[in-house]
Chain A
Amino acid sequence: MMDGLLDATLAICLPLLAWLVLRTEALSQAVVLFVAFGLFSALGWARLDAPDIALVEAAVGTGLTGALLMHTLSWTEEDSSDVRARARRRPWALLCTVALTALLGWAVLALPVDSQGLGPLIAARQEDSGVEHPVTAVLLNFRGYDTLLEIAVLLVAALGARAVNPRSERPDKEAMEDPLTGELFRMMTPALLLVAGYLVWVGDHGPGGAFQAGAILAGGGVVAILTARMGTPRMSSARVRWALLTGPLMFILVAVAPLVSGGRLLEYPPKHAGTLIFVVEAALTVSIAMVLLMFFPGTRPPRALPEEKP
């Protein structure tokens, strides 16, 4: 009964929130509603027995995207004509949404009815993968090629983000002495590091892994930037470049190594598969955290600062 109640609430709230996000006239309200929508969809994924996706949705979709949207908001100066212009575009937005929904619905209906998907196949080969969690087995072993290319795409995205906004800031000496944010930072940092480390470790046998851990670390990084403990990452810094490259380089090294001894690309030796996957995941965590941080280009620009009252 209780489960049904929760599911019904989610089923009603998700479309309602999505509609509100589109309908709301003020951008700031839309951003807050979008964060709420993200939280509800994370709950939805958890109810669908997909804890991995729920974790990513909560960390990336809500936490980090929320921070990015809020940050973008502080750079925009909205006036009423913008709101009116958006209102005129609404019929098109509605039409596109309906078309997309119809397409997705058609895709779902086109799926074979009794298909079991890849589940049984993966379960049968689980032992070969070196890890006990099917999602990690697929991402890092059976379809490691996809993940390798994904990381390359993320690197390009980080370059793109920096090309659009090359501005970067150094930590602010004055704000650094603020006792309030300083204490918060000191209390939260060890906990964040512990959670990120735990997520990498747990990826071996449960929901977790490089992406979730990276997103948590990046969230900590955003807090560090906002509390002026850390400047925004600069592309010109060698340390930042190496951090960005750690994951891809380690992955490529592990992928290419079997070629030397006559194996195939991305073929892990069965004995060391688990260890190698852990090493790759740990390296990927560093890179993913760095890439996500590159998207967050610092605090609001000076021109938008509110006037200080005397």
Chain B
Amino acid sequence: MSLLDGVAAAFMLAGAGFCLAGTVGVLRFPDVYCRLHALTKVDNLGLGLVVVGLALQSGSWATALKLLLVWLFVLVASAFTCQLIARAALRRGTPAWSGRRES
């Protein structure tokens, strides 16, 4: 295993860790707004790290660029869907978490 493989593996493992953290956040956070925050922010970073790891392994600039494009499109899509879902929830009167522990 070369140094490059090691660095790539480290990136991908870090990315997987962030994705796992995001999923735990979706399951554990109290309301829709917090969950959206966990899902879109942490998962985007996780995916970005995975993409960096894969790009290091891909061995060609063209493939690396395509991977980067995939990440950019996911960023755009998730940023917009996050806002849209939050707005829909707000319009339907979903209350935001007030900070108290659920009984």
Write the residues of chain A forming the contact surface with B, with a CB cutoff of 8 angstroms. Answer: 180-181, 183-184, 187-188, 191, 306, 308-309
CB-defined contacts of B84 to chain A, threshold 8 Å: 180-181
CB-defined contacts of A183 to chain B, threshold 8 Å: 80
- Interface code B89-101, partner A: CB below 8 Å = 1, 0 otherwise? 0011100000000
Question: With A308-B91, A309-B93 in contact, do A191 and B80 touch (Cβ < 8 Å)?
Answer: no
B28 within 8 A of A: no
CB-defined contacts of A309 to chain B, threshold 8 Å: 91-93
User: Which residue on A lies nearest to B88, using beta carbons?
Assistant: A306
Q: Which 5 A-B pairs have the closest CB atoms?
A: A309-B93, A184-B80, A306-B92, A180-B83, A187-B76
User: Which residue on A lies nearest to B73, using beta carbons?
Assistant: A191
Nearest CB of B to A170, in Å: 22
CB-defined contacts of B87 to chain A, threshold 8 Å: 180
Contact (Cβ within 8 A) B92 A180: no
A191 to B77, CA, bound (A): 12
CB-defined contacts of A187 to chain B, threshold 8 Å: 76
Nearest CB of B to A262, in Å: 47
User: Which residue on B lies nearest to A309, using beta carbons?
Assistant: B93
CB contact between A188 and one of B76, B83, B91, B93 (< 8 Å): that residue:
B76
User: Which residue on A lies nearest to B84, using beta carbons?
Assistant: A180
Nearest CB of B to A18, in Å: 22
Nearest CB of B to A212, in Å: 17
CB-defined contacts of B76 to chain A, threshold 8 Å: 184, 187-188
A309 to B87, CA, bound (A): 13
CB-defined contacts of B77 to chain A, threshold 8 Å: 184, 188
**Could you list some 14 contacts between A and B, CB below 8 A?**
A180-B80, A180-B83, A180-B87, A181-B84, A183-B80, A184-B76, A184-B77, A184-B80, A188-B76, A188-B77, A191-B73, A308-B91, A309-B92, A309-B93
Nearest CB of B to A90, in Å: 28
A187 to B76, CA, bound (A): 8
CB-defined contacts of B91 to chain A, threshold 8 Å: 308-309
A51 to B84, CA, bound (A): 33
A42 to B41, CA, bound (A): 26
CB-defined contacts of B83 to chain A, threshold 8 Å: 180
Additional pairs, 6, CB under 8 Å, beyond known A184-B77, A308-B91? A180-B84, A180-B87, A183-B80, A188-B77, A309-B91, A309-B93
Nearest CB of A to B48, in Å: 19
User: Which residue on A lies nearest to B83, using beta carbons?
Assistant: A180
CB-defined contacts of A306 to chain B, threshold 8 Å: 92
CB-defined contacts of B73 to chain A, threshold 8 Å: 191
CB-defined contacts of A191 to chain B, threshold 8 Å: 73
